[in-house]
Amino acid sequence: MPDDDHLHRLVYYSRNRIDGPLNEAVRTILAASRRNNAPLAVTGALMFNAGCFAQVLEGDRAVLESTFERIQQDPRHGDVSVLAFEPIAARSFGQWSMGFVGARPDHAAAFADVATASGFDPAVASGDEVLRALHGLALEDEDASA
């Protein structure tokens, strides 16, 4: 079982290489993430728009490394770039095996803001920018559904 004394956060960005219906593919990715992450004590959130993914994953370092290796080899992700991989004292997404933001128009606009802040290249956005955007939107969704 993963050890919270070795908590790490991985923030990455990738280009969308999905061939086919986007909504169906994203639902498939989310279902698999939620199913696989929970038993490994991996938490996080995924942000998606038609052009790219941004994701924050939290958990044991070795588990995150293994998970990220699978992501890098997934043909739906291209140009995968690590924005941050660092030890953390506490989880930001502890309640979500995989939160999702990006389905609502205002979420897409927030993702665009991350891209704009990095000169329209999310690959040069900082891990902190992506973390703040995902965390804020995930909390907003949680408040709206309460």
The sheet with strand 77-87 has its strands ordered as 77-87, 7-16, 52-60, 43-48, 99-101
CA 50 to chain centroid: 15
pTM score, two decimals?
A: 0.75
110 occurs within a structural domain: yes
29-51 pLDDT tens trace: 888 888 999 999 999 988 877 67
Residue 85 confidence (pLDDT):
96
Helix (H, G, I), strand (E, B) or coil at 53: strand
The answer to whether position 93 is within a domain reads yes
The answer to whether position 2 is within a domain reads: no
Q: Would residue 13 count as lying in a domain? A: yes
Give the chain's domain count.
Answer: 1
CB within 8 Å of 85: residues ≥ 6 apart: 8, 9, 10, 11, 64
**4: in domain:** no
- Domain-located, residue 1: no
Q: What is the CATH number of the domain that holds 52?
A: 3.30.70.100
Q: Span 106-135, mean pLDDT?
A: 59
Does residue 117 lie in a domain region?
yes
**Collapsed DSSP state (helix, strand, coil) of residue 15:** strand
Contacts with 48 (C-beta within 8 Å, 6 or more apart), sequence order:
16, 26, 54, 100, 102, 111
**CA-to-CA distance for 45 and 21, rounded, in angstroms?**
21
pLDDT digits (tens, 9 = 90+) for 55-110: 899 999 999 999 999 999 999 899 998 999 999 999 998 887 777 766 555 545 55
Domain hosting 59: range is: 9-145
99 domain-assigned: yes
| Greatest Cα-to-Cα distance within the chain, rounded to the nearest angstrom | 41
pLDDT in tens, 130-143: 777 777 766 555 54
The CA distance from 121 to 66, in Å, is 26
pLDDT of residue 144: 44
Where is pLDDT greater, at 34 or 7? Answer: 7
Q: How many whole angstroms separate alpha carbon 61 and alpha carbon 67?
A: 10
How far apart are the C-alpha atoms of 112 and 60, rounded to whole Å?
A: 30
